[in-house]
Amino acid sequence: MAHIVHTMISGSHMSVPIITKLKEGTPEGGREALAFLEAAQGRELAAFLQGILLRSHIEACSQHRPSGKAHEPRGAGSLGLPRARPRRQQRSSHTPAQGKEELRSGAGTGLWRERARLAVQRRVHGGVHGCERLRESGYGVPVVARIAVVTGGNKGIGLEVCRQLAGSGIAVVLTARDETRGAAAVEKLRGLGLSSVVFHQLDITDAPSIARLVDFFKTRFGKLDILVNNAGFVGLEYIQDHIDGTSTTSEKFGGMDMNQRLELLMKWCLRETCDAGRKCMRINYHGTKQVIRAFLPLLLASDDGRIVNVSSVLGQLRFFGSEALKQELNDVESLTEERLDEMMAMFVEDLEGGAVEARGWPVAFSPAYMVSKAALNAYSRILARKHPALRVNCVHPGFVKTDMTVNFGMLTPEEGGSRVVAVALLPAGGPTGAYFEDRQQAPFV
C-alpha cells in the first residue's frame, strides 16, 4: 500500500489529509479518495482500486494457501499480473456502480470484502491459488514510478543490486536463467520486506527469452528506467573438486592483493579452454548487446533511461599488448558497432588458433573475460555517443566473493552491489559513457 500511496502523492497531487485518512483505512478516507480520483485520469483510479484490493484482501487470501505446494513460476505468469486469457470467465452480477456506492458509504465489510476477494481471484486467473500468487508477486508493481531490470539477479552481486535498488524505492524485475532459483531469490528478498521485487525468466543468449521479457515490459509498463547488465561468465573452466576460498584460512589470504589472489585462483580452481572462451564472449559481450538492443526503445521511452554495464578492472586497455588494438578500442569517435563485432570475431579466431598472445590480446588472467569486458566498455561508449538522452555507464564492482570467483574475492557482495547501485542512481543529467571504479570515474585505458 505504501508505494501506491507514494504514487498518488507524487503523480496525482492528492491532498495530504486525504492520504492520511487513506493510510489509516478509514471509510471517510476511502470516500474522499474515490471522489478525488473520479475527477482524475482513469489510470489513477485503476491504481487506487488496485491498491484497495491489495490492502484489504491479501490477508484473507493468504488464509487459503494450499499446504505442501510450492510456488512454481512460469515466466511472466509468475508475476501474478493480469493478462488476457482465451477462456471465458465467470462474471459477477455486482456492478461497478454498486461497488463505488459501497465504497462511498464506507461499507467495507462482509459482502464488499467477499466480492473484492473474488475479484482478485478472477483477475489473476487462478482461484484461491491465484490469490496466493498475487500475495507473493507484488501486484502493485505497475504503478511504481521507476522500474529496473537486473540480469543474473538470483545470487551474488546481482542479488545485492536487486535488494539495494528495491530498498531505494525502485520496483525491480529480478531475472535469471533458472526459474526455480530466480523465484527462490525473490522469496528471499520478500522475507526482508521488499515487496516490489518480482521474477521473470531470462537467458541473455536466447533471443526468444529476451523477446518474452521485452514484450512483458511493453504490455505492463511501456518503458524501462534502469537496465543493469550483471549476468556474466568468467571465461574459464572450473577444475573438478576445486578448493573454495571460504575453506582457506584468513592467514592464507592475509596481505594478498587482487593479483596474488587471482594467481592462486588460476592455480587451484580454473583452467583455460576454447569452449569456455567462446561461451564467455557469447554471454558477456554478444548476450549483453542483445539485451540492450532489445530494450533500447523502452529505455528511450523513459524520461531518465539508464544502462549500467557491470564491467571489470581487467577490461582496461592497459592489459593489451598491442598498441594498435588499444588505440582502435579507445577511439570511440571512429569506432563503430560493426567494427567492434569484427574485432571480437578476430579474437575468437586467435583464441581457437592459439595466437592470443602473439596478436597482442591480454593474457594476464582469462583472455576471453578481459577482452569481453574491454569490448563491453567500448560498446557502452558507442551507445552513449549515439543516444545522448540515455545515461550509459560501466562499473567495476571490485573483486567480490562470489561463486564466480570461488570466494577468493576481497569484498562482500553487499559492498560490490553498492558500487553498482551508486552508478544506477546517479543524479539526473550525470555522466554518460564513463567507467567507474571505487565509486569514482576512472580511465578506460
Assign 235 a pLDDT band (cuts: 50, 70, 90): confident
Q: Are residues 126 and 152 part of one domain? A: no
190, containing H or E segment: helix 179-190
**Tens of pLDDT, residues 90-119:** 444 445 455 444 444 444 444 444 444 444
- The answer as to whether 76 is a domain residue is no
Residues annotated as part of the active site: 369
Specify the range with the lowest mean pLDDT, choosing from 249-258, 283-292, 295-304: 249-258
- The answer as to whether 87 is a domain residue is no
Residue 363 has pLDDT above 50, yes or no: yes
Residue 372 has pLDDT above 60, yes or no: yes
Which residues form the domain of 14? 2-66+96-140
Assign 86 a pLDDT band (cuts: 50, 70, 90): very low
- The answer as to whether 86 is a domain residue is no
Residue 298 has pLDDT above 70, yes or no: yes
Give the number of domains in the chain: 2
Q: Are strands 147-150 and 270-271 parallel, antiparallel or unpaired?
A: unpaired
Residue 233 has pLDDT above 90, yes or no: yes
Average pLDDT, the chain: 75
Q: Are residues 118 and 166 part of one domain? A: no
Higher pLDDT, 118 or 194: 194
Quick check: 241 and 277 in contact, CB under 8 A? Answer: no
Assign 230 a pLDDT band (cuts: 50, 70, 90): very high
243-252: long-range contacts, CB 8 A cutoff, minimum separation 24: 243/268, 243/269, 243/406, 244/406, 244/407, 245/401, 245/405, 245/406, 245/407, 245/408, 245/409, 246/401, 246/407
Q: Are residues 416 and 294 part of one domain? A: yes
Domain closes at, from 140, 173, 200: 140
Q: Are residues 179 and 117 part of one domain? A: no
Give helix then strand counts, H and E, for the chain.
18, 10
C-alpha–C-alpha distance, residues 9 and 318, integer Å: 50
**Tens of pLDDT, residues 345-360:** 999 999 999 999 999 9
Q: Are residues 106 and 36 part of one domain? A: yes
| Residue that the C-alpha cell 484490493 belongs to | 53
C-alpha–C-alpha distance, residues 286 and 257, integer Å: 31
Q: What pLDDT is attached to residue 245?
A: 56
Q: Are residues 223 and 134 part of one domain? A: no
Q: Are residues 171 and 125 part of one domain? A: no
Q: Are residues 157 and 124 part of one domain? A: no
Q: Are residues 252 and 345 part of one domain? A: yes
Q: Are residues 113 and 202 part of one domain? A: no
Least Cα distance to 153 among 133, 127, 130, 179 occurs for 179
Quick check: 351 and 314 in contact, CB under 8 A? Answer: no
Q: Are residues 427 and 409 part of one domain? A: yes
310: left (phi over 0), alpha (psi -120 to 50) or beta: beta
Q: Give the count of beta carbons closer than 10 Å to the beta carbon of residue 226.
A: 25
Q: What pLDDT is attached to residue 25?
A: 52
Domain closes at, from 111, 140, 169: 140
C-alpha dist (Å) from residue 404 to 154, 162, 408? 13, 18, 9
- The answer as to whether 208 is a domain residue is yes
C-alpha–C-alpha distance, residues 326 and 377, integer Å: 12
**Tens of pLDDT, residues 129-145:** 223 333 334 444 444 57
- The answer as to whether 240 is a domain residue is yes
Specify the range with the lowest mean pLDDT, choosing from 245-259, 266-280, 355-369, 422-436: 245-259
Specify the range with the lowest mean pLDDT, choosing from 29-33, 199-203, 270-274: 29-33
C-alpha–C-alpha distance, residues 19 and 36, integer Å: 11
What global pTM score does this model have? 0.68
C-alpha–C-alpha distance, residues 275 and 147, integer Å: 36
Give the CA dihedral 11, 16, 21, 25, nearest 10 degrees. 30
Domain closes at, from 140, 171, 206: 140
Q: What pLDDT is attached to residue 392?
A: 98
Residue 234 has pLDDT above 80, yes or no: yes
Q: Are residues 389 and 334 part of one domain? A: yes
- Would you say how long the chain is, in residues? 445
Higher pLDDT, 287 or 138: 287
- The average pLDDT across 157-178 equals 96
